[in-house]
Amino acid sequence: MNHNRIVCFDLEMCCWNIDGVGTTGEIIEIGLAEIDLVKGEIVKRAQYYVKPEHDEVSLFCAELTGITPRKVEKQGRPLAEVIKSMIKNFGGNNKIYAAWGRDDLVLAKECADKGIEMPFKEYVNLATIYRIQNRLKEKRIGHKAAQEAKGIEWEGRQHSGYVDAYNLAKLALTML
């Protein structure tokens, strides 16, 4: 296990807003940004589009994420192929993965549903660590608000897995 490297990741899923209620479906993007805790820097980034098997990218989802049906059709690959690329380029069980919230459970469920082995075993929920470090008892805080509260500038469009993973890596470097 390489404890000097953490792979921050963010998922974007098919999503809909029905009568003011947000629902999500299959993963359509995985953004990753690996940090080196010894060097204190981001050392690698990647973006993978995933072609959903059962869902479609709605107009609401395209407006929220910037991911269009055309982009997923042209650049997306099956989740199993994306997972293989993740493991090849970032390492699997020899790395610790981290996200804001429980993206690990979302990924685990979709992997299980599709008969794919989970790409990692070690996981850190950075939202929980942030709440502990900042003594936020039952109060939830979003990733962007947490980052801005620490004086770290948000870069890029929110709800892009690639951008969110990069920004999370910047925040993680101040926390870990």
Q: Could you read off the pLDDT of 140-154 as tens digits, one per residue?
A: 899 999 999 999 999
Number of domains into which the chain is organized: 1
pLDDT digits (tens, 9 = 90+) for 161-171: 999 999 999 99
Mean pLDDT of 124-135: 96
pLDDT digits (tens, 9 = 90+) for 71-123: 999 999 999 999 999 999 999 999 999 999 999 999 999 999 999 999 999 99
pLDDT of residue 138: 76
Token pair for 54: 């059962």
Give yes or no for residue 6 having a pLDDT over 90: yes
Q: If you write DSSP's letter for every residue of 107-143 in order, what string do you get? A: HHHHHHHTT---S-SEEEEHHHHHHHHTT--S----H
CATH number at residue 113: 3.30.420.10
Q: How confident is the model at residue 137 (pLDDT cuts 50, 70, 90)?
A: confident
Closest C-alpha to 82, from 59, 48, 57: 48
Query: Which residues, listed in sequence order, are joined to residue 47 by a DSSP beta bridge?
Result: 31
Q: What does pTM read for this prediction?
A: 0.95
Q: What is the pLDDT of residue 8?
A: 98
Check residue 147 and give its pLDDT: 96
34 lies in which domain range?
5-175
Determine the Cα–Cα distance for residues 143 and 107; give it in Å rounded to an integer: 19
**Mean per-residue pLDDT of the chain:** 95
Q: What proportion of the chain, given as a percentage, has pLDDT over 90?
A: 91
Least confident of 18-32, 62-76, 142-156: 18-32
Q: What is the pLDDT of residue 172?
A: 98
